[in-house]
Amino acid sequence: MKFSDNESLNMWGKVFLFVGVGVVIGFAYYINAPYLMNANINWDLINSLLLWLIFVLLVIMVNKEHIEEIKCLRQIAQEQLKEMQLLRKDLKGRKK
């Protein structure tokens, strides 16, 4: 298995989608800000929840990429171990 450019493109696609959604939400907030400021809304709570949501989503996205990489490296290591075991058997057979 080889790492392809599609995986990195997929990750950057997620990042741009995430940033795009944030820009749209920010623009909607900018347009409605005068109306929303008159309402009794706990903005500190909403802002902290949004920041935690962004942080959690980024951590999940990065960990998912690393998990795929670790699976691939584990498979490569298992293949190399099998090759070494076959070579060891071959060498033992030649010595006898």
Name the residue type at position 92: K
Region of 40 on the Ramachandran plot (φ > 0 left; ψ -120 to 50 alpha; else beta):
beta
This prediction's pTM? 0.36
Residues 6+ apart with CB under 8 A from 76: 1
Could you tell me the pLDDT band of residue 37, with boundaries at 50, 70 and 90?
A: low
- pLDDT in the model for residue 7: 62
Decide if pLDDT at 1 tops 50. Answer: no
What domain range is 41 assigned to?
5-95
In angstroms, the Cα distances linking 26 to 20, 47, 53, 84 are 10, 12, 15, 57
Contact 36, 29 (CB under 8 A): yes
Task: Please give the tally of structural domains in the chain.
Answer: 1
Name the residue type at position 72: C
Could you tell me the pLDDT band of residue 82, with boundaries at 50, 70 and 90?
A: very high
